[in-house]
């Protein structure tokens, strides 16, 4: 088989790494790829947004399956274009991708199909949004309607913060057209978690749970980022909760999209808040998460290519996913200043030493190669990922590897996995006192 992975981040590197393990894969291409993908795939200089160029390439190279990493080309209709060209591609149609492309569409869909989510209002006029905020009770969450690279969500503790968020999104247009309309919703209390499922339009295979860390600083402080680390599984998702998520979120979403005439194929990602009233959907994504994928795929024993092909061909009902029971932790190393302004072009050292740490792989996100050197080339630079016999050992392995990697102005959170360790500590304490 010839396979093309579209994208250039840590998610795409982890997908390529997992795909490469399939013995049937003869040739693996990444477009445009990054400095870490080059040793396992042929990187081609075609951007993820260049849909027609990607179709021409896939035809010329007789690509058997294309896998789309980032959300923007999915929202722009890459799957529809590839299918019209007679090419097999893993992912949702443009109509189905609106679950991520439009937060207003997603909220109204959830409301229509009684899928648990926060109460909300939508606004297309700045003055109406401000009037609402002046009379509202806080905290509230203000969300840009469209794609904003994971940064279009602001938790507002008071009226001043709410009005500032509206000004930034709707007047100053910091997210361009993505902030033309906004959603203002109640701020849910609880613990966040992510559940991803592969769908073929009717059936779904649910992946193991994970927990992302969106804020830039320890203890979930500072502005949102694309994700500073993740671990899988998360103790907050118990067997009872996963059953509830499947019954009240995953299955109704797939059924509802079918009823609306937009069958959902590909990855359905439910970002959840586990509240006192049960799990509620914070957002949908329509692709693998980043960095959740880096923490989930090393645990997947079932061949990923077979799963994606089953999704494309409508055969997921015959697939059973098998998992490594060991936890996995991914720590993101970023450029200093991210998610604001940051400099790139710094040489990275210590990568071979890091990958010698037990059960560790380093996924590249924002890197490039110049000869034998690997340089920083983005905000999120690396995802240092380790398995361990338990969550404590996985955390130790990941941070042991992180400490071996050096580059100018390097930054990373030091508390990835801490919530899981706390939960396991509480569980052990409770067991002792029973």
Rounded CA separation 267/280 (Å): 19
Element (H or E) spanning 56, and its range? Answer: helix 51-60
CATH code, residues 2-90: 3.40.50.20
Confidence of residue 263 (pLDDT cuts 50, 70, 90): very high
Predicted local distance difference test score (pLDDT) of residue 432: 40
Element (H or E) spanning 365, and its range? Answer: none
Q: With respect to CATH, is domain 192-318 assigned 3.90.1150.10?
A: no
Predicted local distance difference test score (pLDDT) of residue 83: 98
Predicted local distance difference test score (pLDDT) of residue 89: 98
Predicted local distance difference test score (pLDDT) of residue 148: 86
The 10s digit of each residue's pLDDT in 231-262 is: 999 999 999 999 999 999 999 999 999 999 99
Q: 29's torsion region: left (phi>0), alpha (psi -120 to 50) or beta?
A: beta
Predicted local distance difference test score (pLDDT) of residue 433: 46
Q: Which fold has domain 328-428?
A: 3.90.600
Predicted local distance difference test score (pLDDT) of residue 426: 64
Rounded CA separation 254/294 (Å): 25
Span 327-338, mean pLDDT? 98
CATH code, residues 119-186: 3.30.1490.20
The 10s digit of each residue's pLDDT in 209-233 is: 999 999 999 999 998 899 999 999 9
270-273 LR contacts (CB < 8 Å, sep 24+): 270/194, 270/195, 270/196, 270/197, 270/245, 271/192, 271/194, 271/212, 272/192, 272/193, 272/194, 272/195, 272/245, 273/118, 273/188, 273/189, 273/190, 273/191, 273/192
The 10s digit of each residue's pLDDT in 158-174 is: 999 999 999 999 999 99
Domain ranges of the chain: 2-90, 119-186, 192-318, 328-428
Span 402-427, mean pLDDT? 91
pTM for the complete prediction?
A: 0.93
Span 96-119, mean pLDDT? 96
Contact assessment for residue 305 and residue 25, using Cβ atoms and an 8 Å cutoff: yes
Task: State the sign of the Cα–Cα–Cα–Cα dihedral 304, 363, 209, 300.
Answer: positive
Predicted local distance difference test score (pLDDT) of residue 427: 60
The 10s digit of each residue's pLDDT in 8-53 is: 999 999 999 999 999 999 999 999 999 999 999 999 999 999 999 9
Domains 119-186 and 328-428 share a fold: no
């Amino acid at each position: 088989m010839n396979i093309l992975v579209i994208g250039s981040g840590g998610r795409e590197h982890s997908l390529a790494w997992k795909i490469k393990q399939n013995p049937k894969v003869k040739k693996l291409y990444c477009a445009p790829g990054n400095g870490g993908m080059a040793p396992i795939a042929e990187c081609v200089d075609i951007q993820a947004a260049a849909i027609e160029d990607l179709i021409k390439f896939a035809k010329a190279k007789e690509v058997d399956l294309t896998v789309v990493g980032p959300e923007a080309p999915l929202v722009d209709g890459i799957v529809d274009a590839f299918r019209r060209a007679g090419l097999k591609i893993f992912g949702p149609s443009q109509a189905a991708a609106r679950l991520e492309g439009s937060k207003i569409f997603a909220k109204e869909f959830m409301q229509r199909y009684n899928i648990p989510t926060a109460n909300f209002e939508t606004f297309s006029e700045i003055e109406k949004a401000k009037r609402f905020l002046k009379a509202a009770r806080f905290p509230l969450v203000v969300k840009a309607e469209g794609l904003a690279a994971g940064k279009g969500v602001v938790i507002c503790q008071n009226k001043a913060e709410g009005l500032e968020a509206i000004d930034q999104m709707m007047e100053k247009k910091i997210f361009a057209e993505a902030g033309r309309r906004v959603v203002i919703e109640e701020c849910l209390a609880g613990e966040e978690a992510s559940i991803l499922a592969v769908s073929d339009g009717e059936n779904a295979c649910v992946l193991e749970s994970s927990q992302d860390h969106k804020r830039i600083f320890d203890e979930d402080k500072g502005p949102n980022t694309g994700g500073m680390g993740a671990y899988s599984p998360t103790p907050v998702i118990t067997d009872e909760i996963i059953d509830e998520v499947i019954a009240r979120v995953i299955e109704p979403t797939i059924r509802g999209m079918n009823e609306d005439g937009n069958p959902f194929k590909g990855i359905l990602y439910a970002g959840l808040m586990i509240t006192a009233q049960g799990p509620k959907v914070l957002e949908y994504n329509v692709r693998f998460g980043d960095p959740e994928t880096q923490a989930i795929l090393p645990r997947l024993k079932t061949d990923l290519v077979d799963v994606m092909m089953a999704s494309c061909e409508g055969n997921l009902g015959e697939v059973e996913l098998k998992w490594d029971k060991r936890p996995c932790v991914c720590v993101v190393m970023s450029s200093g200043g991210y998610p604001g302004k940051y400099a790139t072009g710094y040489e990275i050292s210590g990568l071979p030493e890091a990958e010698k740490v037990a059960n560790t792989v380093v996924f590249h996100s924002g890197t490039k190669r110049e000869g034998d050197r690997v340089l920083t080339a983005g905000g999120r630079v690396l995802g240092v990922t380790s398995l361990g016999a338990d969550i404590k050992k996985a955390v130790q392995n990941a941070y042991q590897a992180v400490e071996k990697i050096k580059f100018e102005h390097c930054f990373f959170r030091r508390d990835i996995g801490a919530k899981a360790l706390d939960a396991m500590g509480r569980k052990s304490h409770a067991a002792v006192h029973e």
